[in-house]
Amino acid sequence: MNGVLAAGLTAVLSVMVTMNGLGTALWSGLVPLFLLALTTVIAAGMGRRVISGMALDVTEYEASIAGVTLGLGVIALGMFAFGACGFFRPWVAPLLLGGMWIYGWRQAREGLKSAASALRLAVARPWLFIAIAGPLMLALWACFTPPHQYDSLVYHVALPQEYLRAGRLYAPGGIVFAHFPQNGEMLFTFALSLGSDLLAQMIVWLGTALTVGWLLTFGRRLTPAAPWAALLIATHTAVLLLSSTTYVEPLVMLWITACWLCFEISEAPKSRGLLLLSAVFAGLALGAKYYAGLPAAILALRLVWRGRFKDALIFSVVAGGVFAPWLIKNWICVGNPVFPFLYRIFPARDIGWTTELASGYFAILTEYGHSNGWVRDFLSLPVLLFHNPLRFGGGMDVLGDLGWDLTLWLWAAGIIVAWRRRVLRGVAAFSVLYFLGWFSTGVVLRFLTALAPAMALVAASGVADWREKAGVGARLLGAGAAGLMIASHLFLWMYCHAVLGSPASLLALEDRRTFLSRRLDYYPCAAAANELPADANILVVGEQRGYYIPRAHRSSTVHGPNLYIRRANEAASAADLGRALRADGFTHFLIVPREAARLGESLGTLTSTGDNNWKGLEAALAPSYRGPACSLISLEAP
């Protein structure tokens, strides 16, 4: 008893010392961390109860990992249902969590017990546990930095913010991404409704942590080397970088990993329940990113290849049914269920999405395409990936470019080994077909992260086979080389955060406002908009990233016609332009000159009259706030 008391007092002292030394840096993330833990427990209970009703042959650890993964899907679809019915209110997230808790509270307790048992097992291999958990904890800490990545502020969290402002699921003007599948954004809507964009980033981190959990549990059924596959994912630079953002790739990675692992395990012996669960996860992944259709199609065709036509039909119907809400929503809103694809067959209505704009959008997606031809670029791929990974993603897409070398090298070497083993042959074939599909589209490495766990599992099995045959010297050399590459991956992770300026925020050297003002030209004006009346409506000129603007607004876009361009070009004078904007309901406009110049003609082209109208209007009106690189101006005459 004295030992327990001493340990307890030491624990209390450690918490006090930590909060005294690091409290300022950690305080902003403590409430989101609590909400993350609460959501995880409730999701586990909900998912575990569903899984227990399916009578699947799974262990307690597997049930907990699969339960949380399924529970996140329930939250996403539940938020969609509330939004479609116009019930995005402050009580939505607590009500959803409360209902899930009532349904699964008994299983939630069992999930907590299995987590405690898993932690005790991890202590049996402490160095491997530290090597996997350490980088994941660093990535979780990085979630304490406010969202600032480009696509995050354009739509990943900007759309949920608009949905909550309107109280319903709808299509804000100028954001074509509102018509993409959004299971990830529904989780972000859930987080924002609880008052925290840091929680949104932590949910993405949870996707990565759960993916590692799938490899450590279900992955062991396929190969005892699965923990080493988990290590490859936990130290993969691209995965770690994306895990601290509100980009949805880690969530897609989670649901696709759950899909193919359930599928592989359902094969021997045949398990209809696991196949159904695999299909559900395929549908959830499709509801987050269209490219998840590729692995779903591969698995369905595999069933057809084996003559299991009924199972293939069941798999396709269930996956399609889970994905269907987004198809129906798009059909109703824009007349194209798979927007922006098939735009010639299903022309989008009411959003100004012309054939030219659609062609331009897909041209951007394929800007890293195969200029030298498919075969030549494929043969030179190893050199490109090693020497110039930015060839497959620049700008903020660089987050997905780094740390692929070790996984790709070991995966290529492990394919032959995996192919010789019946239990891993399906994973090897799946990874090759997915990789070829990804490469054929000519898109960015960030979109390949969903395949990384499958590649890592194949790679780990190959390493395990080699290790059994290698001598001591070869083992030591191989381990040293792999360790050096892993260390370089973690260094790259730290380097990228240093470039982005994250350490200043994480170490409380800068507060949230200072950090965001340094990162975003428009942020000082966005913060000043807090002082505007609640019914203010802001037209944003030259800036797409509208998330931090706290009032109703319309951002600029490179994917559609911009209202401010059209109004300026049509107006006869600056005064006429002001009257037209007021008639549109705008009370203010926010100009970001540097970003407008960077985006250039992709925003549209002002005629000489339009340019003079804007300059004249800006000169005639008094600014509500003028920042270092932005201006917030009232449309009311002084």
Residue ranges, the chain, pLDDT below 70: 1, 21, 121, 123, 354-371, 386-396, 442-443, 637-638
Three state DSSP letters for 583-601: HCCCCEEEECHHHHHHHHH
| Pick from 176, 206, 171: nearest CA to 190 | 206
In angstroms and rounded to an integer, the radius of gyration of the C-alpha atoms of the chain is 26
Residue 174, both tokens: 């100028």
DSSP 146: P
pTM of the model: 0.94
Query: Residue 399's pLDDT is what?
Result: 83
Sheet holding 552-554, edge to edge: 552-554, 537-541, 588-591, 631-634, 623-626
Query: Residue 360's pLDDT is what?
Result: 67
Residue 558's identity, in one-letter code, is V
CB 449 within 8 A of CB 249: yes
* Backbone phi and psi for residue 434, each to the nearest 5 degrees, phi listed first: -65, -45
Please, which residues have CB within 8 angstroms of residue 554's CB and are 6 or more apart in sequence? Answer: 172, 173, 174, 537, 538, 539, 540, 563, 586
CB 266 within 8 A of CB 398: no
pLDDT, one tens digit per residue, over 131-183 is 999 999 999 999 999 999 999 999 999 999 999 999 999 988 778 889 999 99
Query: Exposure pattern of 256-274 as b/e (b: 16+ CB <10 Å)?
Result: bbbbbbbbbbbbeeebebb
Query: Residue 346's pLDDT is what?
Result: 83
Neighbours of 552 (CB within 10 A): 17
Please, which residues have CB within 8 angstroms of residue 133's CB and are 6 or more apart in sequence? Answer: 122, 234
Query: Residue 573's pLDDT is what?
Result: 94
Query: Residue 393's pLDDT is what?
Result: 65
| Pick from 356, 420, 361, 411: nearest CA to 385 | 411
Q: Is 228 exposed, middle or buried (0-12, 13-18, 19+ CB in 10 A)?
A: buried
CA distances in angstroms from 257 to 207, 242, 296, 316, 453, listed in the order given: 10, 16, 11, 17, 7
* Backbone phi and psi for residue 623, each to the nearest 5 degrees, phi listed first: -70, 135
